[in-house]
Amino acid sequence: MKLSNENIIEMYTKMIRIRKFENRAMNLFAEGQIGGFVHLYIGEEAVATGVCSSLRPDDYITSTHRGHGHIIAKGGDLKYMMAELFGKETGYCKGKGGSMHIADATKGILGANGIVGAGHNIACGAGLAFQYKGTDQVCACFFGDASTNQSTFHEGLNLASTWKLPVVFVCENNGYGISVSQARHQNITDISQRAVAYNIPGITVDGNDVFAVYEAVNEAVARARKGQGPTLIECKTYRWRGHFEGDPTVYRPVEELEQWKKKDPIPRVEKYILENNVMTQAELDQLNTDIDVLVEEAVDFALDSKMPDVASAVEDVYTDIVEEGRTR
């Protein structure tokens, strides 16, 4: 597998962007500056980064309610994301979607999604369109461990395997479906096993090792492009925060979190970068500072942006019909 130093730096940059964006969002939520449901991706950065680094700009992804990381990794702009968290008119969705629905079709992002398991079939649809049009694009479908108990997971894997659709199913197994641990929501530990039922390859990788994820997805993407059909890749990982901001996480032991923090995906890459002289410590520090600035710029952009005009609430329902708004 060939990865240039530039590739490695790009991956590291994505991970740091995610971590810093999420940390900032966490603080903004705590300060009451942003509201709603905010599901943070801290701790899982290696998955989104490893997956999206294997994709081309014209490839697509479907995301989940915990979507910030996927969107940043696929090239989403922090400014428009942050503005969306603030509900501003300059946000990706003009303030209509919020954290759970950020999308950017021009970057191949078919949206974060508030319905657990909704992405499986949508990803199949995107894969169907690529196959239909004879392009070699692929769609990567992100989903959590709990969504593999939804019918959509089984429908999607069945359809994709039967039609050999160019879809890479990426399971982010973070051990919990909201508050219910995997042991309490399914009778297996390795979700990759479920691939056997659909006669497709299913593998388990260390989801906190960006290189492991990258390598596996790279192979799966290559298969998909060649018309060999879908792959199920289970990435074992852990979310450091609760399911949503404000979740007291009484359902999991503190030691478990501490154990996983030792497997933090970011220092693992830093160690590699320094040991192999990909960057010096000074360059690494500079990069971190640059991203701090980028995140602050995003916050400033969001704060400086206007709230949407209330009349826009009834726009964008259809391409051609705008119903009457409220007269007050």
| 263-292 binders of another protein (CB under 8 A) | 272, 275-277
Stretch that binds another protein, among 34-42, 71-79, 93-101, 288-296 (CB under 8 A): 93-101
CB of 311 to another protein, least distance (A): 14
Question: Considering only residues 33-92, where is the footprint of another protein by CB under 8 A?
Answer: 60, 62, 91-92
Nearer to another protein, 107 or 244 (CB): 107
Q: What are the phi and psi torsion angles at 28 (to 5°)?
A: -60, -35
Output the six-digit token pair for 183.
Answer: 């042991």
Establish if 225 lies at the interface with another protein (CB under 8 A). Answer: no
Helix (H) or strand (E) holding 130: helix 119-133
Distances (CA, A) of 155 to 84, 100, 124, 147, 197: 32, 23, 10, 12, 12
Distance, in Å, from the CA atom of 234 to the CA atom of 244, rounded to the nearest integer, reads: 22
Nearer to another protein, 20 or 211 (CB): 211
Stretch that binds another protein, among 11-19, 22-30, 34-42, 315-323 (CB under 8 A): 315-323
Closest CA relative to residue 131, chosen from 73, 60, 198, 196: 60
Nearer to another protein, 31 or 324 (CB): 324
CB of 30 to another protein, least distance (A): 26
Establish if 110 lies at the interface with another protein (CB under 8 A). Answer: yes
CB of 17 to another protein, least distance (A): 21
CB of 228 to another protein, least distance (A): 10
- CA 240 from chain centre, in angstroms, equals 15
Establish if 240 lies at the interface with another protein (CB under 8 A). Answer: no
Nearer to another protein, 35 or 125 (CB): 125
Q: Which residues pair with 202 in a beta bridge?
A: 232
- What burial class does residue 150 get, using C-beta atoms within 10 Å of its C-beta: 0-12 exposed, 13-18 middle, 19+ buried? middle
Q: According to CB under 8 A, which one of 156, 177, 229, 242 is a site residue for another protein?
A: 156
Establish if 152 lies at the interface with another protein (CB under 8 A). Answer: yes
* Interaction pattern, residues 114-133, with another protein; x per rule: CB under 8 A: xx--x-xxxxxxxxxxx-xx
Distances (CA, A) of 142 to 18, 31, 64, 147, 267: 16, 30, 7, 10, 24
Nearer to another protein, 114 or 287 (CB): 114
Q: According to CB under 8 A, which one of 10, 77, 136, 190 is a site residue for another protein?
A: 190
Establish if 189 lies at the interface with another protein (CB under 8 A). Answer: yes
Establish if 211 lies at the interface with another protein (CB under 8 A). Answer: yes
Closest CA relative to residue 76, chosen from 239, 242, 298, 267: 298
Establish if 219 lies at the interface with another protein (CB under 8 A). Answer: yes
- Count of residues of this chain found to bind another protein when the rule CB under 8 A is applied: 79
Nearer to another protein, 296 or 315 (CB): 315
Nearer to another protein, 20 or 120 (CB): 120
How many contiguous H segments (helices) and E segments (strands) does the chain have?
11, 7
Distance, in Å, from the CA atom of 25 to the CA atom of 305, rounded to the nearest integer, reads: 17
Q: Are the C-beta atoms of 296 and 79 separated by less than 8 Å?
A: no
Closest CA relative to residue 177, chosen from 148, 202, 207: 148
Nearer to another protein, 42 or 210 (CB): 210
Distances (CA, A) of 61 to 30, 150, 238: 30, 19, 21
Nearer to another protein, 23 or 263 (CB): 263
